[in-house]
């Protein structure tokens, strides 16, 4: 074996051996919510009738070698008003696989990053393709004051388009069992993503795209034992782009609203 080959072999043995010398920690979460409306990850209000969302998260923590995680997500409408031509995410599923690493900048301050492929089959919807493939990246700067975050998604199948959610949130402890979390976020989308949502390129471009909406939220969580939590939240969706507002008002869909409150209640199990 040549010198380079020996070096590569030694590195592989070192990392894989070190990673599995001690068993990784495993964590999981089961999550279910009933909401009065559905707001997609692209910042589009996609239904104003009740929906139910379920998600299963899993994570293996390899400590100094990072984390491997993923999720399985599904959504269903709780009514029969959806037409076949409606493209959005009802009665379908989504899954992703991530590699992540937490970088402790100083005590109490950590940059948490995870990235990986995402698969979103469009089952039962007649819109010209069968599934979306993309690359997803999430970053959070965890501090004791406020948590800024960036959630970026680039879909490269069936055509290239991107969106970035960015926001701030802060959690306040209300005793030992209750937590109050206000948040605010906005969504930027590139020209292709914007065109797919509103039917044309943005009049005013920001880095080749546009900011579409602002969502403010307030969430109350009750931890009633070590593993189980109950939560209720309210969000206010407001379209801030004038061109987007005009496009939405021209539509005749019952879910085509420029400003809308969204209520949700749910339960989650952490293990």
What is the per-residue pLDDT for 79? 75
Measured CA to CA, the distance from residue 197 to residue 201 in angstroms comes to 10
Q: Highest mean pLDDT: which of 40-44, 48-52, 81-85, 257-261? A: 257-261
7/58: higher pLDDT: 58
Q: What digits encode the pLDDT tens for the residues 129-168? A: 567 899 999 999 999 999 999 999 999 877 789 999 999 9
Tally of CA atoms within 13 A in the half-sphere of 181 that contains its CB: 18
What lies within 8 Å, CB to CB, of 209 at 6+ separation is 162, 188, 189, 190, 191, 193, 194, 202
pTM for the complete prediction?
A: 0.85
Q: Where are the domains of the chain?
A: 26-270
15 pLDDT band, cuts 50/70/90, is very low
What is the per-residue pLDDT for 130? 60
Dihedral over Cα of 173, 26, 149, 95: its sign: negative
Structurally, at CATH architecture level, domain 26-270 sits in Beta Barrel (2.40)
Judged against a pLDDT cut of 80, whether residue 23 lies above it is answered with: yes
What is the per-residue pLDDT for 9? 41
Q: What digits encode the pLDDT tens for the residues 59-115? A: 999 999 999 999 999 988 887 666 554 444 556 789 999 999 999 999 999 999 999
Show the tokens assigned to 244: 């987007």
């Amino acid at each position: 074996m040549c010198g380079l080959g020996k070096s590569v072999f030694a590195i592989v043995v070192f990392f894989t051996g070190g990673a599995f010398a001690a068993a990784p920690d495993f964590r999981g979460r089961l999550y279910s919510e009933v909401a009065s409306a559905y707001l997609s990850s692209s910042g589009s209000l996609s239904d104003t009738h009740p929906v139910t969302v379920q998600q299963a998260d899993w994570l293996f923590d390899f400590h100094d070698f990072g984390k491997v995680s993923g999720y399985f997500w599904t959504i269903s409408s709780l009514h029969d008003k959806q037409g076949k031509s409606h493209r959005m995410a009802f009665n379908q599923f989504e899954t992703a696989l991530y590699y992540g690493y937490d970088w402790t900048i100083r005590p109490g301050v950590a940059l948490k990053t995870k990235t990986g492929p995402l698969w979103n089959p469009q089952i039962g919807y007649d819109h010209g393709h069968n599934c979306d493939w993309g690359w997803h990246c999430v970053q959070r700067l965890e501090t004791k004051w406020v948590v800024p975050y960036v959630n970026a998604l680039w879909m490269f199948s069936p055509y290239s388009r991107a969106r970035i959610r960015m926001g701030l949130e802060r959690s306040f402890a209300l005793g030992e069992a209750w937590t109050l979390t206000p948040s605010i976020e906005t969504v930027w989308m590139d020209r292709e993503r914007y065109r797919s949502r509103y039917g044309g390129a943005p009049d005013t471009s920001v880095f080749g795209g546009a900011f579409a909406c602002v969502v403010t939220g307030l969430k109350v969580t009750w931890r009633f034992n070590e593993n189980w939590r109950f939560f209720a939240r309210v969000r206010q969706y407001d379209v801030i782009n004038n061109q987007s507002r005009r496009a939405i008002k021209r539509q005749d869909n019952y879910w085509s609203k420029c400003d809308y409150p969204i209520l949700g209640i749910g339960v989650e199990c952490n293990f």
